[in-house]
Structure 1
């Protein structure tokens, strides 16, 4: 199975019809798994907590009521402006609400469709990062792995976060191949979308977008090194401007309706209040959250931005008195997020958010397997000198965010696409060790090389050859043949590095 395209041109070749048919089958399986989980475990559902917030906020927004606190409106019948959560999840749920699909079940099904769309982008990213087979393997894992779908019928922001991060990863590899201003702008928009899904994902502008653009700086360009840096800075400014412009409407809306400056969310104070207390700094809830902590804080303001500032001050005061405990708490939070600290207790705690214990147990076992495979996949990509940054930046940013708030299984969700992709690289490499090379049909789609392709005298783009290959240098005029290390007829040089549809490192 292979992609077919111009072998002399860098970048991904066009997928074959067979590849698309297999991907369509994988997407059908992924949607089927999500709908089975919905109707087997979560229907009818008790609509409380965050799912109630997202569901009601979507319907209110669709009816033209702006963005109030749904709890206050439902319980106390008063309109209180709110931004407890960033808007993207409820804004997307408002799409079916606009056409009359307003029930919680209909929103659950829509979230399953969004989760299936994330599988599509995971497969596309895998194809760009490591070849067509790796793309299908990544898509297949994403279709059935519980970590990718356990949140979908719950109607939580994790589904939107997974989708936004999957698109961001795909655009990151697309940018690496093209490196144009439009590609930089799309990268900035995707980073903004991730932040509008979950506010802490704004860290991806620092962990992924900025280093990727600087790393992609051309090594040789007319005008010398200074011109190369100028272009990199211009691309970075383009991405930043696109990110700011995407977030700006929501931020301006918030600045106009709150007492205190609020840009993405008014939820940080409340989050810190339930996670910064004696109960979460020691004992069974170490590294987790406890709602009794916020209830113990007297006289919070009603206005949401004032309340956010009030709770933040209380939390910062507690932090200042317990600085020595921060390393212990941070490690516990990371461990809870990645299923390494009291994992079975965490599964029981996750039932607060209506996650079935049996499904969580399967997800935990699958996570451990994929984490081991993803470590191997990172080694494979490193040995191939392929682009690895996006797949490690996403888990890195998520881990840092977790240390700042609290640890829980659902925080890991937005990093699951990177775990799946790295594991798919490892599984594809293992396949390549046991499947004879002669069984691969058609030309193979190479990985994206870490090195920036250089220009030959003729103007044709050529990257450094794969280690172990002997190539004839490309001269001006008609391209010459490539002499491989083995026997066989000469071929036109692709100059794109090692094949990734099963062949391991040399």
Structure 2
């Protein structure tokens, strides 16, 4: 059997393993109702879309843009009839399997077939990836979109012509529609791409501008739709105020929840009204959060450190696991995700050192994004999800020589 054929068979086996894990996880939730978390929004929005109601608030007659539209839109075709939740879960299952394939391809591109196979293998079994697959949320879709950004960014830095630039712009736009904080990835990727072009003696603006224009065109229908229906300008979502308020209150500045986000700070909003426009509500909550942060400015450095500790699983882990359980993640596997993350995080710097400068900084961009988002908002596993594909790839690059040595020893003993 030739080497490519053997590698292809091995990758197929990894994808089958990834599918088996995720389908089993999906079946375990066959009759499980949604809990009181963001999954209700995505599920109900998908059902409303399937019936021709375009992005309305849940339970009140107001326009809605609590989260980005991509995940709900992908779930909409499966949101007819009864028992729609189990079929909506399939969208994230499929996204998770596709993510394993995409990570394998990226690994192959970064370090050859062995790195690609190892990266896909890690992605197939890594709990912090597959625990999102089967949930009616956005992480599986956003991580897949982000991996597509990494792929097309490499294309745009290597290939001539407009097609790679257009593809990168589309990928950036879709990633932003999956999770709004990925908008911050746009300037990061554009700066990285411009730097790559300058080192090759090309004009950076001629490469960066088309990507930016296409990304804006992808976002424009959603932004325009929001501007037309809310009282105040809304760029992507109306949950900014709720995010700020839940991260800047007594419960998230003190005790076991320090550095996190607390829903009760949002629920206990004294001025909440069903007649209040969501954009006005978001602005008011943002103002409350800023007032709180200003009046507790001496606590901010301590809280920021706690946010970073939570994102990297070195602080508030018990509180994080409670949050994971509240989002339908099984307790045992949520705990398994903690040491799994530590192992990848310890290996990742060695992988970064082995990569050329261009690839190294591209994979580190999502990590920079997560650091920025954590400092600005709060720390948590969902916030960290944008960095998970990069961590898997960097760990695969780091451990590939060790894996190759072990494989050679096994072959030598036969």
Structures share fold, TM-score greater than 0.5: yes
Compare the two structures and name the one with the higher helix fraction: 2
Q: Pick from 390, 402, 412 the counterpart of residue 374 of structure 2.
A: 402
**Segment drifting more, 172-181 vs 410-419:** 172-181
Q: Pick from 18, 22, 28 the counterpart of residue 40 of structure 1.
A: 28
Quote how far apart the aligned CAs of 1:348 are: 2.5
Spell out, residue by residue over 1:368-396, the C-alpha distance to the aligned partner (whole angstroms, 9 max, x if none).
111111122112225xx562112111111
Q: Pick from 116, 120, 132 the counterpart of residue 135 of structure 1.
A: 116
Q: How many angstroms apart in 2 are the aligned matches of 1:436 and 1:198? A: 43
Check whether the contact 1:208–1:394 (CA below 8 A) recurs between aligned residues: no
Q: Is residue 234 of structure 1 aligned with residue 203 of structure 2?
A: no
Q: Pick from 117, 126, 137 the counterpart of residue 145 of structure 1.
A: 126
Number of aligned residues: 408
Q: Provide the aligned C-alpha RMSD in A.
A: 2.2
- Aligned CA distance change for structure 1 residues 43 and 416 (closer, same or farther; 3 Å): farther
**Segment drifting more, 276-285 vs 317-326:** 317-326
Quote how far apart the aligned CAs of 1:20 are: 3.2
Spell out, residue by residue over 1:267-302, the C-alpha distance to the aligned partner (whole angstroms, 9 max, x if none).
000111111112211222100122222233322352
Which blocks of at least 5 consecutive residues in structure 2 are unaligned?
A: none
1:93 aligns with 75
Quote how far apart the aligned CAs of 1:358 are: 0.3
Runs of 4+ that moved beyond 6 A? none
Quote how far apart the aligned CAs of 1:245 are: 0.3
1:247 aligns with 219
- Aligned CA distance change for structure 1 residues 313 and 2 (closer, same or farther; 3 Å): farther
2:148 aligns with 167
Write the mapping of 1:409-420 to structure 2, written as runs, cut at 5 A. Answer: 409-420=381-392
Q: Is residue 156 of structure 1 aligned with residue 137 of structure 2?
A: yes
Q: How many angstroms apart in 2 are the aligned matches of 1:140 and 1:44? A: 29
Check whether the contact 1:188–1:209 (CA below 8 A) recurs between aligned residues: no
Spell out, residue by residue over 1:99-153, the C-alpha distance to the aligned partner (whole angstroms, 9 max, x if none).
x686101111221011111111111111111111111111111111111111121
Q: How many angstroms apart in 1 are the aligned matches of 2:386 and 2:83? A: 26
Q: Is residue 106 of structure 1 aligned with residue 80 of structure 2?
A: no
Q: How many angstroms apart in 1 are the aligned matches of 2:270 and 2:407? A: 66
Quote how far apart the aligned CAs of 1:333 are: 1.0
Write the mapping of 1:18-37 to structure 2, written as runs, cut at 5 A. Answer: 18-37=6-25
- Aligned CA distance change for structure 1 residues 50 and 349 (closer, same or farther; 3 Å): closer
2:345 aligns with 371
Quote how far apart the aligned CAs of 1:436 are: 5.9
Write the mapping of 1:310-389 to structure 2, written as runs, cut at 5 A. Answer: 310-382=284-356, 387-389=359-361
**Segment drifting more, 171-180 vs 197-206:** 171-180
TM-score, normalized by length of structure 2? 0.92
**Segment drifting more, 299-308 vs 426-435:** 426-435
Quote how far apart the aligned CAs of 1:177 are: 2.1
Which blocks of at least 5 consecutive residues in structure 1 are unaligned?
A: 4-15, 73-77, 221-227, 440-506
Structure with higher Rg: it is: 1
Quote how far apart the aligned CAs of 1:208 are: 2.5
2:57 aligns with 69
Q: How many angstroms apart in 1 are the aligned matches of 2:296 and 2:2? A: 57
Quote how far apart the aligned CAs of 1:241 are: 0.2
Q: Is residue 278 of structure 1 aligned with residue 250 of structure 2?
A: yes
Quote how far apart the aligned CAs of 1:47 are: 4.2
**Segment drifting more, 284-293 vs 232-241:** 284-293
Q: How many angstroms apart in 1 are the aligned matches of 2:30 and 2:248? A: 32
Quote how far apart the aligned CAs of 1:192 are: 1.5
